[in-house]
Structure 1
Amino acid sequence: MPLYREEGVVLRTRKLGEADRIVTLLTRGRGLLRAVAKGVRRTSSKFGARLEPFMVADLQCFEGRSLDTITQAETLGAYGPAISADYERYRAGSVIVETAERLAEGGPSRELYALLVGALRTLSAGRIPPELVRDGYLLRAMSLAGWTPGFDACVRCGAPGPHTVVAVQAGGVLCEDCRAPGAPRLDPGSVALLTALLAGDWERAVASTERERGQAAGIAAAYTQWHLERGLRSMSAPRL
């Protein structure tokens, strides 16, 4: 069986037998990968902790008929413990990795991989509120996938903004003449926050109010789920 090396982010795991796990990863070169990690649930395992969700690892794998096998794992980014230890970070991280897995179904993308690693690194550092990291990732991931939202000019007629009516089905803001029935009107600061999140302007994003963050979060979630054409399970996780 051919042996290969790959860099990947652990998205999720599930038990297999008494001691093994099936690990789902987003890899840098191969895209979505599901592989068996043998013996990692034993206390004597040398690399079980390196294959937990949100970890970034350098992997050595054997190709198999249905599933590959991970034989070695070296940590490149130990983001899992810090994210899992804080519930709000964990909720945000769960949305991020679920979205990454959905987008990876379209094939490998080094840009989407780099965006995921950067989002988990920022989330684990704890300097940016988790909801902002999550919403910034969602908007930028949608953009890299080919669905860039427009928050500056009307997405239908091109009339320059600022506009405060946002229609996710249309792809962004609408002017008064193009306003769609039922499209919500946001506070101007909320639209500015969406623009900042899409651009990765964390200074502007951190200066936002709770109301602006709430409105922006609703749009980011709705926009993502509209284009993925199904809901995200982690979005509906209950608050403690």
Structure 2
Amino acid sequence: MKFYRDEGMVLGGHKLGEADRIITVLTRSHGVIRAVAKGIRRTKSRFGSRLEPFMLVDIQCHVGRSLDIVTQVELLEPFGRGLVGDYDAYTAATVMTETALRVSEAEPDTRGQYLLLVSAIRSLCKGEHPPRLSLDAYLLRAMSSAGWAPSLIDCAQCGAPGPHRAFSSPLGGALCPACRPNGAFLPGEEALLHMAALLAGDWPTAEASPEHAKAQSARLTSSYVQWHLERKVKSLAVLERA
């Protein structure tokens, strides 16, 4: 019998049969795994609430034919308990976990994405920054870690020194007047400088940005993420409608 053990963040799951559940976990060393937690929906389940979303766990699985089987779980940090009482933090965390899944599900090496997600969720739980700023910072860094870093100061096409006013997701970010195509967004320099501060972790600058710049950068970040993932992030659409 072959087993493996790893540290991971529970991203979600869905029901299987009458009492089981298939859980999805982003792990440090084994990528995204999907495994069956047998009997988890029973009142006396030995796993309890340790496999709920946003829980950081030490998990052991048995390798199965089609799906692995969870055999042991140790709770490391109960992030879910710190998020359920704050709607804004909870919805931001939901977007983070869905994005982490989309970015990581086809990648063999997910260590960087895993560490980034854990750090972002931990920051949300501690309330270190406003939830939407934490979310946008995470999204920009997740894209950068996946190889889709946006150019936010210099022109993404010709490299002309910035800052610039225009932004295009398909073309990689900020654009100078000579490279700007028809239909490019024109959010203004403040929004792009705000995004650059979030990406760099310059929180004093990011938190001091004007509210209109924060709102514009949030829209640009959402557009950029969904363009490069080539699919909608469902939880992000819910967050923006709210």
Structure 1 counterpart of 2:174: 173
Cα deviation, 1:1-21, whole Å, max 9, x if unaligned, reads: 212211111011211222221
Q: Cα distance, 1:182 vs. partner?
A: 1.3
Alignment of 1:91-102 (within 5 A): 91-102=91-102
Helix, strand or coil at the partner of 1:43: coil
- TM-score in terms of structure 1 length: 0.95
Instruction: Work out whether 1:136 is the aligned partner of 2:137.
Output: yes
Alignment of 1:46-65 (within 5 A): 46-65=46-65
- TM-score in terms of structure 2 length: 0.94
Q: Cα distance, 1:131 vs. partner?
A: 0.8
Cα deviation, 1:29-53, whole Å, max 9, x if unaligned, reads: 1101000111222222243211110
% identical aligned pairs = 51
Structure 2 counterpart of 1:158: 159
Contiguous gaps of at least 5 residues in structure 1: none
Contiguous gaps of at least 5 residues in structure 2: none
Helix, strand or coil at the partner of 2:33: strand
Structure 1 counterpart of 2:209: 208
User: Which portions of structure 1, spanning 4 or more consecutive aligned residues, are displaced by more than 3 angstroms?
Assistant: none
Distance in 1 of aligned mates of 2:65 and 2:159: 52
Q: Determine if contact 2:27/2:114 at 8 Å carries over to the other structure.
A: yes
Moved more, 39-48 or 188-197: 39-48
Structure 1 counterpart of 2:3: 3
Q: Determine if contact 2:35/2:69 at 8 Å carries over to the other structure.
A: yes
Cα deviation, 1:52-111, whole Å, max 9, x if unaligned, reads: 101110011111111111111111221112222222112111111111111112223211
Q: Which amino acid aligns with 1:221?
A: S
**Cα distance change on mapping 1:76 and 1:203 into 2, 3 Å:** farther
Helix, strand or coil at the partner of 1:51: coil
Moved more, 226-235 or 36-45: 36-45
Q: Cα distance, 1:161 vs. partner?
A: 0.8
Distance in 2 of aligned mates of 1:84 and 1:221: 23
Distance in 2 of aligned mates of 1:145 and 1:61: 27
Q: Determine if contact 2:23/2:37 at 8 Å carries over to the other structure.
A: yes
Q: Cα distance, 1:123 vs. partner?
A: 1.2
Alignment of 1:1-240 (within 5 A): 1-107=1-107, 108-237=109-238, 239=241
Cα deviation, 1:160-210, whole Å, max 9, x if unaligned, reads: 111121111110111112211111112322111100111122222222232
